[in-house]
């Protein structure tokens, strides 16, 4: 008969090995495939004191321009960043209860012209021309996301071209990047001209779901590898920063910086952008748009930039 102690020992060793393999597999799935979204508020704190006083008693028109990020794709009604700029949802987080633009602009009206799937050529040719000339007593407050779809469309399914450059080499993309700069300059000029009573434009940078690594093929979305994608993405954000700097009424809302570490590598503690306080995914499944926690983040960083402009006594 076999030694009972030896048999038990082998069973224990075998069982321990199976457990170790399962734990290893679970850890591997967590670090390389799992994208937990988390719960509760996300993003930086908004200074409540900046919202204690009215910023302006003027007639203010808030305008949303651009792509699906401003259109709020994937969010419930009332939970996009644009909606939450205007009004708090019923289950608002305690730290932002009563903080919205209607509090500080009591004579606020709102229109959102943004369209899901649209690109910067479409914004310039079709969307921004829909702006009508505002009366001189109206101040324009414009929020805008543009350029992101230029980069990710058409998901590598066709030959890269302007407005759908996924898969392009940097030399191919160079003239399209130049055109984007000229186009964005013109768009900001046209927006400003629509508000003879003055306006402020808050223009978002383009976020990176690869957390600065550029391995979009590992996103689990079926996207092919793109050798020059990260560099083209960087160049587009440089254009946004450069053009905004040329327009004194325009501020960049740095969506890229705020979302770093909350993309497809959010669970990897060894990542340089890992956030141990919130190691969660802020993107919708399509990678083009935020999830609802991501929209909360966007609402916060837009409000913070607006407070820097309007909340000081000199600006009122």
pLDDT given at position 19? 36
Q: Mind listing the pLDDT tens digit for each residue in 55-71? A: 999 999 999 999 999 99
Q: Mind listing the pLDDT tens digit for each residue in 183-225? A: 999 999 999 999 999 999 999 999 999 999 999 999 988 999 9
CA 144 from chain centre, in angstroms, equals 11
pLDDT given at position 50? 97
Give the pLDDT band (50/70/90) at residue 9.
low
Give the pLDDT band (50/70/90) at residue 128.
very high
**CA-CA-CA-CA torsion sign (186, 190, 196, 199):** negative
pLDDT given at position 15? 52
Q: Mind listing the pLDDT tens digit for each residue in 96-120? A: 999 999 999 999 999 999 999 999 9
With 0-12 / 13-18 / 19 or more C-beta atoms within 10 angstroms meaning exposed / middle / buried, residue 230 is middle
Check pLDDT > 90 for residue 246.
yes
Give the pLDDT band (50/70/90) at residue 22.
very low
- Rounded Cα gap, residues 163 and 185, in angstroms: 17
Please provide the average confidence, as pLDDT, over all residues in the chain: 91
Check pLDDT > 50 for residue 316.
no
- Average pLDDT in the 122-135 region? 98
- Rounded Cα gap, residues 114 and 123, in angstroms: 8
Give the pLDDT band (50/70/90) at residue 127.
very high
Check pLDDT > 50 for residue 29.
no
- Rounded Cα gap, residues 187 and 86, in angstroms: 24
Continuous segment of H or E residues that includes residue 110: strand 108-112
CA 260 from chain centre, in angstroms, equals 10
Virtual CA dihedral for 147, 251, 53, 63, nearest 10 degrees? -40
- Average pLDDT in the 272-285 region? 96
DSSP string, 212-243: TS--GGGSSS-PPP-TTHHHHHHHHHHHHHHH
Q: Given strand 138-145, what is the order of strands in its sheet?
A: 108-112, 59-66, 138-145, 199-204, 250-253
Provide the angle, in degrees to the nearest 10, between the axes of the packed helices 170-193 and 229-245.
30
Domains of the chain, with CATH numbers? 40-315 (3.40.50.1110)
- Average pLDDT in the 254-276 region? 97
Selected residue with higher pLDDT from 154 and 28 = 154
pLDDT given at position 92? 98
State what percent of residues in the chain have pLDDT above 90: 87
CA distances from 283 to 225, 260, 270, 279, 295 (A): 19, 11, 20, 13, 9
- Average pLDDT in the 225-237 region? 98
pLDDT given at position 238? 98
Contacts of 7 (CB under 8 A, 6+ apart): none
pLDDT given at position 312? 75
Which of 34-38, 88-92, 194-198, 277-281 shows the lowest per-residue confidence on average (mean pLDDT)? Answer: 34-38
- Average pLDDT in the 144-156 region? 97
pLDDT given at position 36? 97
pLDDT given at position 54? 97
- Rounded Cα gap, residues 159 and 175, in angstroms: 16
State what percent of residues in the chain have pLDDT above 70: 88
Q: Which two tokens stand for residue 20?
A: 């170790």
pLDDT given at position 221? 86
- Rounded Cα gap, residues 307 and 101, in angstroms: 10
Asked if 69 and 119 touch (Cβ cutoff 8 Å), the reply is no
pLDDT given at position 11? 47
């Amino acid at each position: 008969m076999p030694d009972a102690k030896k048999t038990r020992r082998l069973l224990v060793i075998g069982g321990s090995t199976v457990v170790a393999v399962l734990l290893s597999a679970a850890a591997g799935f967590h670090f390389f495939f799992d994208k937990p979204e988390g719960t509760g508020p996300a993003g930086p704190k908004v200074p409540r004191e900046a919202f204690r006083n009215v910023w302006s008693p003027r007639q203010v028109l808030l305008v949303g321009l651009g792509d699906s990020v401003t259109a709020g794709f994937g969010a419930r009604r009332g939970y996009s960043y644009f909606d939450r700029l205007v009004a708090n949802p019923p289950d608002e987080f305690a730290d932002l209860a009563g903080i919205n633009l209607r509090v500080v602009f009591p004579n606020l009206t709102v229109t959102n012209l943004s369209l899901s799937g649209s690109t910067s050529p479409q914004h310039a040719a079709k969307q921004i021309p829909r702006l009508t000339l505002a009366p001189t007593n109206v101040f324009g407050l414009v929020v805008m996301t543009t350029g992101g779809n230029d980069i990710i469309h058409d998901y590598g399914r066709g030959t890269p071209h302007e407005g759908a450059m996924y898969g392009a080499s940097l030399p191919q993309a160079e003239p399209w990047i130049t055109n984007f700069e000229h186009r964005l300059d013109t768009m900001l000029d046209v927006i400003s001209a629509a508000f003879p009573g003055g306006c402020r434009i808050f223009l978002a940078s383009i976020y990176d779901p690869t957390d600065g690594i550029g391995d979009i093929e590992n996103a689990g979305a079926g996207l092919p590898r793109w050798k020059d994608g990260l560099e083209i993405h960087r160049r587009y954000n440089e254009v946004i920063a450069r053009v905004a700097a040329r327009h004194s009424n325009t501020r960049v809302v740095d969506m890229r910086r705020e979302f770093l570490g909350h993309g497809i590598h959010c669970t990897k503690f060894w990542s340089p952008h890992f956030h141990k306080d919130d190691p969660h995914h802020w993107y919708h499944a399509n990678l083009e748009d935020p999830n609802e926690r991501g929209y909360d983040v966007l609402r916060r960083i837009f409000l913070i930039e607006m407070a820097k402009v309007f909340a000081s006594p000199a600006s009122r």
